[in-house]
């Protein structure tokens, strides 16, 4: 009778051991910052870790209308058209109330382009987005020719860099305005804003989004009409920053009104 009992216990112990061993060896992503994080994994397999790809979707508008080059818009009652409208974003951070994750990405935002890849981010709830218009001090004075041609900080056409007073042009807006009142924009305007004092940080704390999948898109609206708030574009036609600092400062002051979360 005793030997029969032993015969029954041995296979049972073997089965239990086998089950235990299998449980310990479950492989998977053990990084909680990955959206593929496996809480049951007992053995790390980093190849299974995937992180959300963060895109900024920047929708350019002029008031209530979609942005278009060479189209006449009424901005503050003045017929205005654009031939160039672009700016740099850097200092991009995203996170929750406690901490934001700096991403070190530089974007050249163009009014006729919507999607910008920022980079991979940690999975989780996102409440806070930080951006800065301009190129930060770490890169503003570096040599543009050291970047590959497709890098945002490489030399561009039209140029986004000054050589005589080295540094990037943070904002470049060009086009025409109607100065003679006939409803047709005929007089060129040229706004070039740069220089580190004009580097402007913006914070948006109303994000409320979860980055829990492969793609994580944040929509931002850029209203180019708001860039003219407080500016009479019929008389304020040109700034290269240092030659018309009041106009440059007015443009900088308008970033917070022009760039908003959607």
Partner 1 sequence: MNALAKSLLVFVTAFTAACTPAGEIEDLPYVWDLPPGVEPPAVPEDNALTMKRIALGRRLFYDDDLSLDSSINCGTCHQPQRGFSNPRPVMFGIENRLGFRNTPTLTQVAYSPYFFAEGGSPTLEMQVLGPIENHDEFGFNAAELYERIRQNDEYQALAREAYGRPMDLFVLTRAIASFERTLVSSHSPFDNFYYRGDSDAMSPAARRGWELFISDRTQCRSCHDGFAFSTYEFANVGLADYQDEGLTRRTMEAGDVGKFKVPTLRNVALTAPYFHDGSVRSLREVVEHFNRGGEGHPNQDPRVKPLGLNEQEVKDLVEFLRSLTDTTLLNNPNVQPIQ
Min CB(162)–partner 1 separation in Å: 8
Query: Least distance in Å: CB of 151 to partner 1?
Result: 11
How many residues bind partner 1 (CB under 8 A)? The answer is 21
Q: Which of 27, 112, 165, 203 binds partner 1 (CB under 8 A)?
A: 165
CB of 246 to partner 1, least distance (A): 12
Among 156, 172, 226, 234, binds partner 1 (CB under 8 A): 156
Q: Report 192-251 residues binding partner 1 (CB under 8 A).
A: 242-243, 245
Can you tell me which residue has the tokens 């974003």? 89
The answer to whether 188 contacts partner 1 (rule: CB under 8 A) is no
CA distances from 61 to 159, 195, 222 (A): 23, 26, 6
Contact between 159 and partner 1 per CB under 8 A: yes
- Tokens linked to 140: 């503003």
Query: Is there binding between residue 154 and partner 1 (CB under 8 A)?
Result: yes
8 binds partner 1 (CB under 8 A): no
> Which stretch in 17-25, 103-111, 149-157, 226-234 sits in contact with partner 1 by CB under 8 A?
149-157
Give CA separation, 43 vs 17, 30, 50, 150, 169, in Å. Answer: 18, 8, 16, 40, 50
Residue span 119-148 as binding mask against partner 1, x where in contact by CB under 8 A, dash where not = ----------------------x-xxxx--
Map tokens 């895109």 to a residue: 55
Residue of the chain from 23, 63, 104, 155 that contacts partner 1 (CB under 8 A): 155
Furthest C-alpha separation in the chain: 113
**How far is the C-alpha of 147 from the C-alpha of 105, rounded, in Å?**
14
Least CB distance to partner 1 at residue 242 (A): 6
Question: Which of 193, 198, 183, 172 is closest to 82 using CA atoms?
Answer: 172
Q: Does 64 bind partner 1 (CB under 8 A)?
A: no
| Comparison of 27 and 165: residue with beta carbon closer to partner 1 | 165
Q: Cβ of residue 156: shortest distance to partner 1, in angstroms? A: 5
Chain contacts with partner 1 (rule: CB under 8 A): 141, 143-146, 149, 154-159, 161-166, 242-243, 245
């Amino acid at each position: 009778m005793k030997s029969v009992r032993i015969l029954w216990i041995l296979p049972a112990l073997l089965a239990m051991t086998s089950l235990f061993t299998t449980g310990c060896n479950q492989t998977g992503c053990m990084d909680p910052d990955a959206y593929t994080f496996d809480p049951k994994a007992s053995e790390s397999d980093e190849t299974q870790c995937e992180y959300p790809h963060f895109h900024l979707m920047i929708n350019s508008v002029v008031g209530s209308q979609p942005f278009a080059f060479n189209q006449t818009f009424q901005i503050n009652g003045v017929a205005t058209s654009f031939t160039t409208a672009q700016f740099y974003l850097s200092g991009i951070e995203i996170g929750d109330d406690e901490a934001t994750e700096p991403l070190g990405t530089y974007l050249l935002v163009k009014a006729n382009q919507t999607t910008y890849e920022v980079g991979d981010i940690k999975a989780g709830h996102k409440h806070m987005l930080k951006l800065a218009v301009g190129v930060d001090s770490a890169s503003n004075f570096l040599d543009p020719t050291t970047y590959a041609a497709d890098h945002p900080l490489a030399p561009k056409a039209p140029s986004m860099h000054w050589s005589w007073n080295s540094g990037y042009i943070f904002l470049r807006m060009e086009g025409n305005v109607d100065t003679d009142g006939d409803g047709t924009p005929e007089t060129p305007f040229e706004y070039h804003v740069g220089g580190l004092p004009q580097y402007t940080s913006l914070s948006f704390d109303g994000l409320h989004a979860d980055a829990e999948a492969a793609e994580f898109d944040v929509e931002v609206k850029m209203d180019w009409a708001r860039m003219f708030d407080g500016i009479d574009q019929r008389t304020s036609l040109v700034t290269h920053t240092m030659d018309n600092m009041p106009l440059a400062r007015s443009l900088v002051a308008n970033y917070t009104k022009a760039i908003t979360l959607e």
